[in-house]
Amino acid sequence: MKSKNVREEVGKLRKWLTTAGYCRGYISHFDSTTNQLIQFMDVRDETEYTVSVGLCFLTEKYGYDPSGKISEANSARLRTLQMLSEFQLHGAALPKQRLRTYVIPAGFREATDGFLAHRRFTGIVEHSMTTIQLYLERFFGYLTGQHIEAIPQITIFQIHGFVKMIVGFSKQTRDHTLRTVRQFMQFCYENGYHPADLSKQVPYVHYEKRSSIPSAYSAADVHRLLEQVDRSNPIGKRDYSILLITAKLGLRSGDICNLKFENIDWEQNKISLVQHKTGRALTLPLFEDVGLALIDYLKFGRPECNSQYIFVRHRAPIGPFFSRSIYSMVAGYIAKAGLLVQGKKRGPHALRHSLASRLLEENVPLPVISEILGHADTNTTAVYLTIDIEKLRACALEV
């Protein structure tokens, strides 16, 4: 294999990031990390970047320890080095989330617009459409890295190459990604954008959807978590309200961020909304403690602003709260409470799972739990049967 000079590879990747639509802040961080990497390699008289060189750089320069807790800064640097490795192998790097400024390559644009319109026509909600577009962006990023500029140029070799590129993702993500690619290639064939039906050549990823046990915390753990919140300050009042809504109502973080004043019916003591993920209407009771926490936040904690959303950031610029902020908040309070998290997730979805588990323990029928969680299908809710230990014990045979 031909040796690749690190300066050339970094320059090519930077150009690719700019073309792909990465923001200035991300590229600035990329420049900072890669400049330090090149200086590190110059001292060692090395010109070809490898994974081992990258790990030595992180360890010696920034104290990176893969066996310990990884700081946010080192996590970002690690991602930059991972992108550099991906680019060396495939001529492209996989975005972890959808790029708002991403521009679909001209040779794919017409077919993509038609495909997305077709998917919307079939009833796919906008949240899922965003995910579909992310999968397509990854696919197109790989294709452009392979110098494929038009749909008719795509062959089975590019399909298999893309499969190799996404091997680092979970089986579920790979399955969903390849399903999108399969549907896209079928659409291209049926509408004359590609001469062959390559959809039949896209492999399937087989995995057991219920093989993993949902993360759940006991009622005592959740109570201990809530006790960690300092409700004497505005941020604490906001956090406590969000935690209560998550733990007692099971709302997804996206729906909490989208909560508006119009969603709260104070006279009828209920919350009504259209779920961001499924597009289905949902009405839940506004429990007294949840209502009191909301009132406390709105009257004594929420900054004065014109936002229509209930929960807002408390630092300038004041605006809507984001799902990732809720994840960081919940994870922080779980750590502060000293809860055992080995093998468990630490985000708001774990509190949602915990609610489902408690309802199941209280013999609430599965269809009712489905309605509370806003599931469209009770089969989705049935996964929580795996965490009802007492009922599993009741089914055990005597020895």
- Residue 297 near residue 241, CB atoms below 8 Å: yes
pLDDT at position 396: 46
Catalytic residue chosen out of the listed positions 174, 182, 252, 302: 252
Considering the domain architecture, whether residues 294 and 385 belong to the same structural domain is answered as yes
Query: Has residue 335 been placed in a domain?
Result: yes
Considering the domain architecture, whether residues 130 and 279 belong to the same structural domain is answered as no
Peptide linkage before 317 cis (omega within 30 of 0): yes
Cα 392 to Cα 323: distance, rounded to the nearest angstrom: 34
164 φ/ψ sector (left φ>0, alpha ψ -120 to 50, else beta):
alpha
Indicate the range of 75-79, 103-107, 342-346, 371-375 predicted with least confidence.
371-375
Cα 49 to Cα 44: distance, rounded to the nearest angstrom: 12
Catalytic residue chosen out of the listed positions 182, 302, 352, 358: 352
Residues paired with 271 in a beta bridge: 264, 284
Q: What is the CATH number of the domain that holds 389?
A: 1.10.443.10
Query: Has residue 376 been placed in a domain?
Result: yes
Considering the domain architecture, whether residues 302 and 168 belong to the same structural domain is answered as no
pLDDT at position 358: 65
pLDDT at position 69: 72
Considering the domain architecture, whether residues 240 and 386 belong to the same structural domain is answered as yes
Query: Has residue 212 been placed in a domain?
Result: no
pLDDT at position 206: 81
Cα 12 to Cα 345: distance, rounded to the nearest angstrom: 37
Query: Has residue 213 been placed in a domain?
Result: no
Amino acid at site 137: E
Q: Is 90 a catalytic site residue? A: no
Catalytic residue chosen out of the listed positions 277, 314, 344, 345: 277
Q: What pLDDT, in 10s, does the model give residues 263-316? A: 999 999 998 988 877 778 888 888 899 899 999 999 999 998 989 999 998 887
pLDDT at position 73: 85
pLDDT at position 262: 94
CB contact set of 319 (below 8 Å; sequence gap of 6+): 305, 307, 312, 313
User: Structural domain of residue 276, as residue ranges?
Assistant: 219-394
Q: What is the CATH number of the domain that holds 151?
A: 1.10.150.130
Of 201, 230, 261, the position where a domain reaches its end is 201
Considering the domain architecture, whether residues 303 and 331 belong to the same structural domain is answered as yes
pLDDT at position 297: 94
Considering the domain architecture, whether residues 273 and 373 belong to the same structural domain is answered as yes
Cα 291 to Cα 270: distance, rounded to the nearest angstrom: 9
- Record the tokens describing residue 277, joined without a space: 């993920």
CB contact set of 316 (below 8 Å; sequence gap of 6+): none
Reference 84, options 43, 39, 50, 42; nearest CA is: 50
- State the average pLDDT over residues 210-220: 65
pLDDT at position 208: 64
CB atoms within 10 A of CB 188: 24
Strands 264-265 and 281-285: unpaired
Lookup result for tokens 């521009």: 103
Considering the domain architecture, whether residues 237 and 115 belong to the same structural domain is answered as no
- Record the tokens describing residue 373, joined without a space: 């969680």
Going by pLDDT thresholds of 50, 70 and 90, the confidence category of residue 1 is very low
Q: What is the CATH number of the domain that holds 33?
A: 1.10.150
Query: Has residue 11 been placed in a domain?
Result: yes
Of 90, 117, 140, the position where a domain reaches its end is 90
pLDDT at position 357: 67
- Residue 134 near residue 140, CB atoms below 8 Å: no
Q: Is 174 a catalytic site residue? A: no
pLDDT at position 395: 47
Query: Has residue 206 been placed in a domain?
Result: no
Q: Is 277 a catalytic site residue? A: yes
pLDDT at position 113: 95
- Record the tokens describing residue 215, joined without a space: 């993360």
Strands (E), 226-384: 264-265, 270-274, 281-285
Q: What percent of the chain has pLDDT over 90?
A: 38
Q: How far is the CA of 320 from the CAs of 190, 275, 299, 314, in angstroms?
A: 42, 17, 18, 10
Going by pLDDT thresholds of 50, 70 and 90, the confidence category of residue 253 is confident
Going by pLDDT thresholds of 50, 70 and 90, the confidence category of residue 325 is confident
Q: Is 349 a catalytic site residue? A: yes
pLDDT for 191 beyond 80? yes
- Record the tokens describing residue 377, joined without a space: 């299908």
Considering the domain architecture, whether residues 74 and 111 belong to the same structural domain is answered as no
Considering the domain architecture, whether residues 333 and 230 belong to the same structural domain is answered as yes
Mean pLDDT across the chain, nearest whole number? Answer: 83
Residues paired with 265 in a beta bridge: 270
Considering the domain architecture, whether residues 127 and 55 belong to the same structural domain is answered as no
Reference 179, options 158, 203, 155; nearest CA is: 203
Catalytic residue chosen out of the listed positions 77, 248, 358, 375: 375
In 3-state terms, what secondary structure has residue 78?
helix
Indicate the range of 36-45, 155-164, 324-333 predicted with least confidence.
324-333
pLDDT at position 366: 58
Q: Is 333 a catalytic site residue? A: no
Q: Is 179 a catalytic site residue? A: no
Of 50, 66, 90, the position where a domain reaches its end is 90
User: Judging by beta carbons within 10 Å of its beta carbon (0-12, 13-18, 19+), is residue 127 exposed, middle or buried?
Assistant: middle
Considering the domain architecture, whether residues 283 and 381 belong to the same structural domain is answered as yes
Structural domain count, the chain:
3
Query: Has residue 37 been placed in a domain?
Result: yes
Query: Has residue 95 been placed in a domain?
Result: no
